[in-house]
Chain A
Amino acid sequence: MYGRKVKLRFFFIVLILTILALSIYLVLKSLEENVVYFQSPSEIKNIAEFKETKIRIGGMVKKDSVSINMNEINFIITDFKNEINVIYSGAVPNLFEEGKGVVAEGFLKDRNFFMASKILAKHDENYMPPEVKAALEEK
Chain B
Amino acid sequence: MYKFFEPNKIFSITSRAPKYVLILFVIVLTIGLIESLILSPEDYKQGHSVRIMYVHVPAAWTTLGIFSTITLLSIFGYIFKLKNFFLISKSLAPSGFIFNLIALVTGSLWGKPTWGTWWAWDARITSMLILALFYLIYLLAWRIYENKEQVYKITSIITIFGIINVPIIKYSVDWWNTLHQPASINILSKSSIHSSMLFPLIIMTAAFALFSLLIFLMKYNTELIKIKNKGLDRL
A residues near B (Cβ < 8 Å) are 6, 9-10, 13, 16-17, 20-21, 24, 28, 32, 35-40, 58, 92-96, 103, 118-134
Which residues of chain A have C-beta atoms less than 8 A from B164's C-beta? 17, 20-21, 24
B residues near A (Cβ < 8 Å) are 41-46, 50, 53, 75, 78-80, 113-117, 120-123, 160-161, 163-164, 168, 176-179, 181-184, 192-194, 196-197
B78 touches A121 (CB 8 A): no
CA distance A58 to B176 in the complex (A): 12
CA distance A1 to B22 in the complex (A): 41
B116 touches A20 (CB 8 A): no
CA distance A134 to B44 in the complex (A): 9
Which residues of chain B have C-beta atoms less than 8 A from A103's C-beta? 179
A6 touches B79 (CB 8 A): yes
- Give 6 closest A-B pairs by Cβ, nearest first: A93-B116, A129-B41, A133-B44, A37-B122, A128-B194, A125-B184
CA distance A120 to B192 in the complex (A): 22
With A16-B160, A20-B164, A36-B177 known to touch, is A127 a contact of B43 (CB < 8 Å)? yes
A97 → chain B closest CB, angstroms? 8
With both beta carbons as reference points, the residue of chain B lying nearest to A7 in the complex is identified as B79
CA distance A40 to B144 in the complex (A): 47
B2 → chain A closest CB, angstroms? 16
A116 → chain B closest CB, angstroms? 12
B197 touches A128 (CB 8 A): yes
B116 touches A40 (CB 8 A): no
CA distance A132 to B53 in the complex (A): 19
B35 → chain A closest CB, angstroms? 14
Given A10-B79, A28-B168, A122-B179, 10 more A-B residue pairs with CB atoms under 8 Å apart are: A9-B78, A20-B161, A21-B164, A24-B168, A118-B117, A121-B115, A124-B181, A124-B192, A127-B53, A130-B43
